[in-house]
């Protein structure tokens, strides 16, 4: 069945519009509680990022879950991967994240983890949507769910992050700038890197409910690059609002994206025998990553855009590593979902082991020039853009020009009302011109 509410990463949108309102979230909590607990109570964890609307939706979810007879553990501000970890280790029925990830503060969303710390499969999301169609009921007073706050959630997750690298290694003398995007990692990430011995300079670590992702974080790493240069740091680490993605900066202030981070971790795992199977990327992964991995004798597979599809392929095949250029890196030998802090730690471990700088570690992968243009949809449906003759003709013309020397990807965003136009090839000027030719065809349709 076609899903009405869930997108590629939960339910997301502008606060107060569409489904992102207290009434809908109240019933969503009730429906999810009934489906995920199997009607047998249990407990569900609720965590959130630092958006001001998180308080409102936290209360709505709590009420809905309690009405379904489910106990609640409130984690407060907690990175998405931290909620996944705690859901698994606390043997909860599910974990719920209130976050819109890298979006601005006036967006918010709800996403779920199953009891094993994985994102919900489509069939479970479909069952929740079916439950939403039923009248909301309340269990008897004796069976109402009880809510408690977990005071040690932060400490538990910090210890888990540190456990993903060898405890015997000493990071004294390493100066690190950590950009928390004024998001859910603000009170966690600086402590993780300090506790392994690094000297830490924290930026983007003063959330006020309105400044999440505003000029800081993985989607805006220029502030991090500047801070690395000004402070003479060895490495910079930029997390996004909910902490499930990471972009890094080398000692010269150059940005190191998710493809390069994935290559560094894959080469490290290959060297110590820890890489199982192929590496999984998406249709957005740079062709240079595929070529570099092939040079190491490592297979590379592409799946649809979205970390859930990477995880599905890794799980199906029993493989251990995948990621996206946006910085969603899944080290399945360490955890069950994309984790910005854990991924950064794997890179720091490689710096420590080899004695090389991050700038030196990124050598070995030459990125192909890539142009990504986001075209707002306005009132036009994404499906109408994808089926439009003028747009498809523009795509075919570019593909014909490039032959085997490049790629074109045209797709709707899974989280925002945008069409993403990506062109990749060997010559930067031609790549930019070809991407713009397709984007103009899309804009012509949108403007009408």
State the catalytic residues: 101
Of 278, 273, 275, 238, which Cα lies nearest the Cα of 258?
238
Q: What is the DSSP annotation of 260-300?
A: HHHHHHHHHHHHTT---S-EEEETTS-HHHHHHHHHTT--E
Strands (E), 64-166: 71-77, 94-98, 107-114, 147-149
Maximal C-alpha separation, the chain = 69
Chain centroid to CA 344: how far?
A: 14
Q: Is 218:103 a contact under the CB 8 Å cutoff?
A: no
| Dist CA 281 CA 296 (whole Å) | 16
In whole angstroms, what separates CA 162 from the centre of its chain?
A: 20
CA dihedral sign of residues 203, 219, 57, 8: negative
CA angle 158, 164, 168 (to 5 degrees): 95
**Separation of alpha carbons 190 and 272, rounded Å:** 28
Rounding to the nearest 10 degrees, give the CA dihedral for residues 382, 384, 385, 386. Answer: 90
The first and second tokens of residue 404, run together, are 């085997």
CA–CA dist 271, 36 (Å, integer): 41
Determine the Cα–Cα distance for residues 90 and 391; give it in Å rounded to an integer: 50
The closest alpha carbon to 311, from 32, 33, 28, 116, belongs to 116
Which helix (H) or strand (E) is 58 found in, with range?
Answer: helix 54-67
């Amino acid at each position: 069945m076609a899903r009405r509410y869930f997108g590629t990463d939960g339910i997301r949108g502008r606060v107060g519009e569409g489904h992102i309102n207290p009434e809908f979230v109240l019933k969503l909590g009730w429906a999810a509680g009934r489906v995920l607990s199997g009607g047998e109570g249990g407990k569900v964890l609720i965590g959130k990022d630092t958006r001001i609307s998180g308080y409102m939706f936290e209360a709505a979810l709590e009420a809905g879950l309690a009405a379904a007879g489910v106990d609640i553990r409130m984690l407060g501000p907690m990175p998405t991967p931290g909620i996944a970890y705690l859901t698994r280790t606390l043997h909860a029925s599910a974990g719920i994240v209130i976050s819109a990830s890298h979006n601005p503060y006036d967006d918010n969303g709800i996403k779920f983890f199953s009891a094993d710390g994985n994102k919900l499969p489509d069939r479970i999301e479909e069952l929740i949507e079916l439950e939403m169609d039923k009248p909301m009921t309340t269990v008897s007073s004796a069976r109402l769910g009880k809510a408690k706050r977990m005071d040690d959630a932060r400490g538990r997750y910090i210890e888990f992050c540190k456990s993903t690298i060898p405890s015997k290694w000493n990071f004294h003398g390493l100066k690190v700038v950590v950009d928390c995007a004024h998001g859910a990692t603000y009170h966690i990430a600086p402590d993780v890197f300090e506790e392994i011995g690094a000297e830490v300079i924290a930026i983007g670590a003063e959330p006020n409910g309105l400044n999440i992702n505003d000029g800081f974080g993985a989607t805006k790493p220029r502030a991090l690059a500047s801070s690395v240069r000004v402070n003479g740091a060895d490495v910079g680490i930029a997390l996004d609002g909910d902490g499930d993605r990471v972009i890094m900066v080398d000692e010269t202030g150059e940005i190191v994206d998710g493809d390069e981070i994935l290559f560094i971790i894959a080469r490290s795992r290959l060297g110590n025998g820890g890489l199982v199977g192929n590496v999984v990327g998406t249709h957005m992964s740079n062709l240079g990553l595929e070529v570099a991995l092939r040079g190491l004798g490592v297979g590379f597979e592409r799946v649809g855009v979205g970390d859930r599809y990477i995880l599905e392929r890794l799980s199906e095949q029993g493989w251990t590593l995948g990621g996206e250029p946006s910085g969603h890196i899944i080290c399945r030998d360490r955890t069950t979902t994309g984790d910005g802090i854990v991924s950064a730690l794997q890179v720091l471990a490689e710096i420590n082991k080899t004695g090389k700088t991050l700038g030196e570690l990124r050598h070995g992968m030459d990125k192909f020039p890539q142009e990504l243009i986001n075209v707002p949809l306005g009132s036009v449906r994404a499906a109408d853009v994808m089926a439009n003759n003028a747009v498809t003709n523009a795509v075919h013309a570019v593909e014909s020009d490039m032959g085997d020397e490049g790629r074109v990807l045209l797709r709707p965003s899974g989280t925002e009302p945008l069409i993403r136009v990506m062109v990749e090839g060997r010559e930067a000027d031609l790549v930019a011109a070809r991407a713009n030719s397709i984007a103009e065809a899309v804009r012509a349709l949108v403007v009408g």
